[in-house]
Amino acid sequence: MTEITGRTRVFAILADPIAQVKAPQGLNRVMAERGVDGVMVPLHVAAADLATVVAGLRATRSFGGAIVTVPHKTAIVPLLDAVSDAARLVGAVNAVRREPDGRLVGEILDGAGFVAGLRAAGHDPRGASAYLAGAGGAANAIAFALAEAGVCRLTVHNRTPARVEDLFSRLRRLHPGLPLAFGTDPAGHDLVVNATSLGLRPDDPLPLDPAGLGTGQLVAEIIMQPAKTPLLAAAAARGCRTHPGLPMLEGQLALMADFLEMRAPGR
């Protein structure tokens, strides 16, 4: 990390809880490699305080932008001045850039990062049947990315079926031929993805019934800490291949840095 001075641009990650985040380590490394005079710090922000914090960051001239994670990806959208077309369709953002005039602009990179992480590990989702647990901000982004990547069908489960139907209505605009279903059983799917926050805390229930898991399936997480979540442990015990959450971040670090304009002067 560069020495912090009065010229240093400050970036943040907004989350609750915050101890599990890995973006500061990754993006501080990227900025050091690029020769950027900047630093990313974690900000523990409760849902009730998000609007207040965003207003403060907007007025902070040395603030360059933020990474946004659980539980703020959807809630932050109406607090921004503009979002990309992709973020508008998904209904969530995970990166926010502060423009010189104080405007806040949002982008969603989770889906691209998740698919990039899968492919980097040798798992191409094209032609696979996919089961997705969750219909929040990250889940929406991953659903669109899996559809774009060419999965042959997509099953989604969420405690609130109306959120799944809303996701499906938006997916059908871009992918009208993709078979979509609401379901609770991951059996019969090639790829099973936990896109919820269940697994962050030791007392969390599993996001799906592991009885439906078996040999031949790939079970993937978006949770980065712990690296081996209870779901991944249960999946491995049933003979599944597993894919942890960290590759999703690694797959989008450069995208995040570029969107946040983390570059040295003259580059």
Give the catalytic positions in this structure. 73
Rg of the chain taking only CA atoms, in angstroms: 18
From CA 156, how far away is CA 139, in angstroms rounded? 9
- What is the total residue count of the chain? 267
Alpha carbon dihedral 13, 16, 18, 22, in 10-degree steps, equals: -50
From CA 124, how far away is CA 21, in angstroms rounded? 26
Q: Which two tokens stand for residue 84?
A: 């990309």
- 3-state SS of the chain: helix, strand, coil percent to 5? 35, 20, 45
Q: Which two tokens stand for residue 260?
A: 């946040």
Q: Look at residue 100 and give its three-state secondary structure.
A: coil
